[in-house]
C-alpha cells in the first residue's frame, strides 16, 4: 500500500475540479495507479465546497460516512484485515473537527515522500467567487484540471444518477418534463458562470480544460495530455477504456425532455464555442 503512517499534513498538488458526470472518477482511478501520485482512499474530499456552498453541508456527513463504510466493506469482502494505519486514518478524518484547514492537510498526510497528492472533487467547479479566490490563496502552486462535457449529455447523466439514487422512474413525458426543471441539473453545468471565475485567478499554466469525449475516443491520449500538464512521466495504465459508471438502460430520457434541456442550456453552447473554439467543443462527445 502506497502509505506513510508517519507522513506530515500537507496540501494537495493537483486538483480535479469538475465537471460532475464528466469523467472525474475515471481520471481519479487512472492516476491513482501511479506510485508517484497519492490519492485519498475515498474520492472527493469536498473541503472547499463545504466551506463556501452552504447547501452542500447537508449531505456531506452522509458522503464521508458512506465512503468509510464502503472501504470497510471492500476489506471485509477481500477476507483480509484492514491495516491499523488505514483504520486510524479513517477514524481521524471522519471525526470532528472536520473541514478545517488543518483537517484538509491531514487528509493527505499519508502520502509517501516524493509522491504528489491529488484531490478530485467536481463540486469545486461550482464555488462562488470568494471560494475560488480562497483556493487561489490557499493553494498558490497547485494545478487544476476541469473536464468539460456536452451540456445536455451531462445534465441527462446527472438526472439519471439522481433518479437512480432516489429509486424513482418517471412514467410519462409530462413527468420527465417536470424532472428536467430541477435547477440542480443546469447549475452543475453552468459553465458560463463558473469558467470565468476560475479563469480570473488561474492561467493556462495552472488550469487545464479538456473535452470529455476524448476519454472515450482516445483515453490514453487524454492521459498523456494530463501527464504533460502535471509534469508526470508516461505511465502504462490498466483498463483505460473501461467505463466506471454504466448508464441505467431502464431510464430512457424521452426526446421531449432532452429538447427542453437543450432549450434551457442553449446559451451555454454559444459561450463554450466562443471561449474554447469549435474544435474543442466538437470533442464533447
Domain boundaries, the chain: 14-281
Against a cut of 0.75, is the pTM above it? yes
Which cell is 257 given?
A: 425532455
Alpha-helical runs (H) found in the chain? 24-31, 47-52, 60-78, 84-93, 101-107, 129-138, 151-166, 173-179, 183-187, 191-199, 213-217, 219-230, 255-276, 278-281
pLDDT at 243: 78
What is the C-alpha to C-alpha distance for residues 150 and 164, in angstroms, rounded to an integer?
A: 21
Of the options 3.40.50.300, 3.40.1390.10, 3.40.190.10, 3.60.15.10, the CATH number for the domain spanning 14-281: 3.40.50.300
pLDDT at 65: 87
12: nearest Cα among 190, 130, 135? 135
What's the distance, Cα to Cα, between the start and end of the chain in Å? Answer: 36
Ordered DSSP codes for 104-162: HHHHTTTPPTT-EEEEE-GGGGG--HHHHHHHHHH-SS-EEEEEE--HHHHHHHHHHHH
What is the C-alpha to C-alpha distance for residues 74 and 128, in angstroms, rounded to an integer?
A: 36
pLDDT at 249: 66
Indicate if the alpha-carbon torsion angle 84, 24, 60, 137 is positive or negative: positive
Cβ(160)–Cβ(253) under 8 Å?
A: yes
pLDDT in tens, the chain (285 residues): 689 989 999 999 999 999 989 999 999 999 999 999 999 998 899 999 999 999 999 888 888 889 999 999 999 999 999 999 999 999 999 999 999 999 999 999 999 999 999 999 999 999 999 999 999 999 999 999 999 999 999 999 999 988 998 888 898 999 999 999 989 889 889 999 999 999 999 999 999 999 999 999 999 999 999 999 999 999 999 999 887 765 556 788 999 999 999 999 999 999 999 999 999 999 999
Phi, psi of 117 (to 5 degrees): -110, 150
pLDDT at 246: 57
pLDDT at 1: 60
Q: How many Cβ atoms from other residues are within 10 Å of residue 71's Cβ?
A: 17
Amino acid at each position: 500500500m502506497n502509505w506513510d503512517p508517519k507522513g506530515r499534513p500537507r496540501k494537495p498538488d493537483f486538483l480535479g475540479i469538475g465537471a460532475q458526470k464528466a469523467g472525474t472518477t475515471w481520471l481519479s482511478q487512472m492516476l491513482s495507479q501511479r506510485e508517484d501520485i497519492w490519492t485519498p482512499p475515498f474520492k472527493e474530499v469536498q473541503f472547499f465546497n463545504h466551506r463556501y456552498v452552504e447547501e452542500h453541508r447537508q449531505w456531506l456527513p452522509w458522503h464521508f460516512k458512506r465512503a468509510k463504510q464502503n472501504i470497510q466493506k471492500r476489506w471485509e469482502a477481500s477476507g483480509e484485515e484492514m491495516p491499523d494505519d488505514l483504520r486510524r486514518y479513517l477514524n481521524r478524518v471522519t471525526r470532528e473537527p472536520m473541514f478545517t484547514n488543518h483537517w484538509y492537510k491531514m487528509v493527505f498526510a499519508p502520502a509517501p515522500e516524493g509522491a504528489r497528492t491529488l484531490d478530485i472533487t467536481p463540486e469545486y467547479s461550482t464555488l462562488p467567487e470568494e471560494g475560488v479566490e480562497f483556493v487561489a490563496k490557499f493553494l498558490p502552486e497547485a494545478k487544476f484540471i476541469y473536464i468539460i462535457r456536452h451540456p445536455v449529455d451531462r445534465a441527462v447523466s446527472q438526472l439519471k444518477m439522481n433518479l437512480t439514487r432516489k429509486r424513482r422512474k418517471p412514467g410519462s413525458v409530462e413527468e420527465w418534463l417536470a424532472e428536467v426543471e430541477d435547477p440542480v441539473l443546469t447549475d452543475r453545468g453552468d459553465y458560463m458562470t463558473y469558467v470565468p471565475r476560475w479563469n480570473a485567478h488561474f492561467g493556462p499554466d495552472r488550469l487545464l480544460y479538456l473535452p470529455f469525449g476524448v476519454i472515450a475516443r482516445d483515453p490514453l491520449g487524454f492521459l498523456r495530455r494530463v501527464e504533460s500538464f502535471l509534469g508526470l512521466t508516461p505511465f502504462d495504465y490498466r483498463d483505460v477504456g473501461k467505463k466506471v459508471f454504466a448508464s441505467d438502460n431502464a431510464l430512457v430520457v424521452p426526446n421531449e425532455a432532452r429538447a427542453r434541456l437543450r432549450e434551457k442550456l442553449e446559451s451555454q453552447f454559444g459561450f463554450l464555442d466562443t471561449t474554447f473554439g469549435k474544435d474543442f467543443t466538437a470533442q464533447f462527445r
